[in-house]
Amino acid sequence: MPAIWTATALFIAAYCLVFGSRLHRTFSAMVGAVAMVIVGREMGFYSPEAAIEYIDFETIALLAGMMVHVALLSETGCFRFLSIKTAKLTGGSPWKLAATLALVTAFVSMIIDNVTTVVFIGPVTVLIADVLRINPVPALLAEAIMSNVGGVGTLVGDPPNIMIAHAAGLHFNDFLTHLFPVVLVVMIACLFGLRLLFRRQMREKSQHLETVRAMRERDAIRDMRALRLSLAGLGVTLALFLLGEPLGIAPSVAAMAGAVVSLVLIRPDPDKVFREVDWTVLIFFASLFVLVGGLDGSGVLDKVAAWTSGFGRNHPGGASVAVLWLGAVSSALIGNIPTAAALIPVVSRMGGLGIPVGPMWWALALGVGLGGNATPFGGAANVVAISISEKTKHKITYGQWMRIGLPVALISCLLATAAVLVLPW
């Protein structure tokens, strides 16, 4: 029993550190992981060898592979190309600009990580809004929100989905058939919600379209050859994602295979490419896995699964909805990755007890993915959008985010709840 309480206390302390702003979240998770291993070894419920076993290298390799794709693609200028091309189609309408750029962000976020998408599309959005003399905030907010929503639709769109896929043995196509249609409906609902919430800022059409029309999106592409070859490598990865189930190829291998194809074809400076890989995020993941592993080693997860199994067995629909909302609220408060890292093993244990957890996995993916929109710190893309706005005359305040993000997150989660209850998962 002391092991359970000690591991729980360490876990809560580490999560408080991750949530707080005193120490970077990766350092916080590392402190928690190291403390868990040392204390667990002393008390006999954990060991360094067990900690290594708990690191989900499938998730880390998949993320690393996709980061190589991002590093190669972002160098080519393709995100600037996409943003300018899209803006030209909107004819100076603030609503069309926000909606189309948000849709582009959402679809790109289904393959490329949300932060990268907003980091590259956000600043060009601000420039275009500025030369059109319109407020960039609706478009920036819509992009961050829709990148979070779009990411839920595929296995690789959001890190929690990657973790869920590995834990539950789900394939890329499972996400396409289960979550993608739901996400499309949620995206449409979010756009309507954003239109309503931003109705005042969306009234007047810009009279300064000529500057945007004069922009040459082709010139935004720095290296057409590298772009073609990067897309070829990404195409290999996508094809292997789609064919992964029949061919028995894991998503991590698919991501790495495409990345290797791109690297061999383009032959970029390796130091430059690997510097672009976000090691901070990868170490954060590894630390969280070690931390949660200690919780499992102490027997906490078995206890939690045993406590909740009665409810899960008797009310499977209710349990899925509970997981969705617990995931959403926790994601809004501490972020989607720590939430997923904590909840996945619990759902997994419940499955081990014979409870039908199939719908629960989808509920968890929807909850942690959509709940993050409620607060400025619920998703990394939110933080990026706010920091971009701070370089303009229209700063997004935390209050402003909550006025828009919270209702949008509520609408999304209500729709997701309906999907969990109605769809035959």
Partner 1 sequence: MTTEVITVAAGTPLSSVLEVFADRVIGGIPVIDEHRHVVGMITKKSLLHLFMPEYLDLIDDFSFVDDFGVIETEPLEDFAQALFLVVDVMEKEFERISPEASLLKAAVVMDRTDCSVLPVAGDDRVLQGVVTRTDIFRAVFSPQQD
- Contacting positions for partner 1 (CB under 8 A): 77, 80, 84, 122-124, 126-127, 130-131, 133, 208, 210-211, 214-220, 222, 388, 391-392
Return the number of the residue (77 or 376) whose C-beta is nearest partner 1.
Answer: 77
CA distance 346 to 250: 24
Residues contacting residue 406 through CB under 8 Å, at least 6 positions apart:
374, 375
CA distance 350 to 198: 43
Residues contacting residue 157 through CB under 8 Å, at least 6 positions apart:
109, 110, 111, 114, 150, 151
CB of 357 to partner 1, least distance (A): 43
CB of 293 to partner 1, least distance (A): 39
Return the number of the residue (56 or 75) whose C-beta is nearest partner 1.
Answer: 75
CB of 130 to partner 1, least distance (A): 5
Please write down the HEC assignment for all residues of 250-317: CHHHHHHHHHHHHHHHHCCCHHHHHHHCCHHHHHHHHHHHHHHHHHHHCCHHHHHHHHHHHHHHHCHH
Q: What is the DSSP string of 102-165?
A: HHHHHHHHTTS-HHHHHHHHHHHHHHHHHHHT--SHHHHHHHHHHHHHHHTTSTTTSHHHHHHH
Return the number of the residue (295 or 384) whose C-beta is nearest partner 1.
Answer: 384
CA distance 69 to 241: 14
CB of 412 to partner 1, least distance (A): 28
Return the number of the residue (6 or 83) whose C-beta is nearest partner 1.
Answer: 83
Return the number of the residue (55 or 383) whose C-beta is nearest partner 1.
Answer: 383
CB of 87 to partner 1, least distance (A): 11
Return the number of the residue (300 or 384) whose C-beta is nearest partner 1.
Answer: 384
Please give the span between the terminal C-alpha atoms of the chain, in angstroms, as a whole number.
Answer: 37
CB of 80 to partner 1, least distance (A): 7
